[in-house]
């Protein structure tokens, strides 16, 4: 596996790969000041050749940056799923996505490409998570929730059943989302209000 990104998020993705006996062949980062990641050498130069026969995960937490990298790097994308996660057999998970420790994804949910389902988050039945979205630690999506592309649901946030959260939204930590949210909105509080 190739990891593109060598920051804090990459450390967790690296740990998941190692727990699944997936060898890390290459760590890449555009920041030339980052030299190592948990003892692995970080490279700053690459060519399309390194992507031909190896799967890659973009191990960067920022949703916009993950999308921009997919637009300029032609790669085969893998997944990283922590062995302690609980994922129903009817769940679909897109390429490039990461599911972290103790996350739960229940029946008939669809996780898009290059998503982060973070530590101890809960995605209940029949949810849809758009590409490049991030469901933060201990966030809860009740049944039938739709989360749009690039949306970040903050730590400990709760989205009530059948609510639709638009594209590229930010749901603040601890926010309780009671009703549908328009694209490009920012919500905070309990109940969640737009700011």
> Annotated active-site positions, please?
125
| Contact between residue 52 and residue 74 where contact means Cβ atoms under 8 Å apart | no
Q: How far apart are CA 71 and CA 185, in angstroms?
A: 24
Phi, psi of 12 (to 5 degrees): -70, -40
Q: Indicate the pairing of strand 193-194 with strand 186-188.
A: antiparallel
Return the closest-CA partner of residue 136 out of 155, 151, 122, 112: 155
* CA angle at 144 for the pair 153 and 68, rounded to the nearest 5°: 40
| Contact between residue 81 and residue 99 where contact means Cβ atoms under 8 Å apart | yes
What residues pair up with 98 in beta bridges, in sequence order?
80, 116
């Amino acid at each position: 596996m190739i990891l593109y990104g060598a920051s804090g998020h990459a450390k967790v993705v690296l740990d998941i790969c190692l727990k699944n006996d997936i060898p890390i062949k290459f760590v890449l980062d555009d920041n030339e000041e980052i030299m190592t990641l948990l003892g692995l050498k970080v490279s700053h130069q690459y060519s399309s050749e390194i992507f031909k026969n190896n799967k890659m995960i973009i191990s960067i937490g920022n949703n916009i940056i993950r999308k921009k990298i997919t637009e300029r790097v032609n790669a085969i994308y893998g997944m990283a799923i922590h062995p302690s996660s609980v994922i129903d057999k009817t769940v679909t998970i897109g390429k490039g996505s990461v599911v972290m420790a103790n996350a739960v994804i229940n029946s008939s949910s669809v996780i898009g490409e290059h998503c982060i389902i973070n530590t101890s988050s809960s995605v209940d039945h029949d949810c849809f998570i758009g590409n490049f979205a991030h469901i933060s630690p201990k966030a809860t999506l009740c049944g039938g929730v739709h989360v749009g592309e690039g949306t970040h649901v903050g730590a400990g946030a709760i989205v009530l059943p059948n609510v639709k959260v638009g594209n590229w939204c930010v749901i603040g930590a601890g926010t309780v989302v009671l009703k549908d949210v328009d694209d490009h909105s920012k919500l905070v509080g309990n109940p969640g209000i737009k700011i």
